Amino acid sequence: MEVLMPEPQIYVERTLAIIKPDVIDKEEEIEDLILRSGFHIIQKRKLQLSPEQCSNFYAEQFGKVFFPNLTAYMSSGPIVAMVLARNCAVSYWKDLLGPSNSLRAKITHPHSLRALYGTDELRNGLHGSVSISSAEKEIRFIFPEAILEPVPTGQRARDYLNLYVKPTLLAGLTALCKEKPADPM
């Protein structure tokens, strides 16, 4: 009888999460919600960004009306930055965050983190990367020592599993089956 096994998957997508200055006192509560949502916290760091660092971090927002207020807000106190990992980390984190405008989130996504912890459209409590490429860039910015290896997907992932993982497992399981314990109990 053949046992059906699910296709092996590699859960290594990462995203950046930031607890912003005005909700830093809710750090433990937010981390608990993150962990209960299936994320793993790979790295964590508490820091305070200068206005210049905030300007560099949010460079894509430069020129928008809210940019000066955003950099002032993000540099107003300490933040907690975390690298989160799980399958489809970026999209799951965006779903958990809800809309960037906390006032809208309270109406349309009342159980989202921004609805729970944000106060207005600027002070939305948390940051999340919008894409895999922006996540990599933002992680490198906050965690410059981080090693970000490319995530194997599709055929590359299957090739890796077939070339390295399956032979090792097969040899180990075969050796284990050949052993007969002296006292099985």
Domain ranges of the chain: 14-142, 152-184
Summarised one tens digit per residue, pLDDT across range 19-75 is 999 999 999 999 999 999 999 999 999 999 999 999 999 999 999 999 999 999 999
pLDDT at 8 over 60: no
At 41, phi and psi to the nearest 5? -90, 110
Instruction: Report d(CA 112, CA 101) in Å as an integer.
Output: 11
Average pLDDT, the chain: 89
pLDDT at 13 over 70: yes
Q: What amino acid positions are annotated as catalytic residues?
A: 127
Asked whether 119 and 102 are in contact (CB, 8 A), the reply is: yes
Instruction: Report d(CA 152, CA 146) in Å as an integer.
Output: 18
Residue of 56, 45, 53, 1 lying closest to 19 (CA atoms): 45
N- to C-terminal Cα separation, the chain: 28
- pTM of the model as a whole: 0.75
Amino acid at 106: K
In CATH, which of 3.30.420.10, 3.10.20.440, 3.30.70.270, 3.30.70.141 is domain 14-142? 3.30.70.141
Q: 122: pLDDT confidence band, cut at 50, 70 and 90?
A: confident
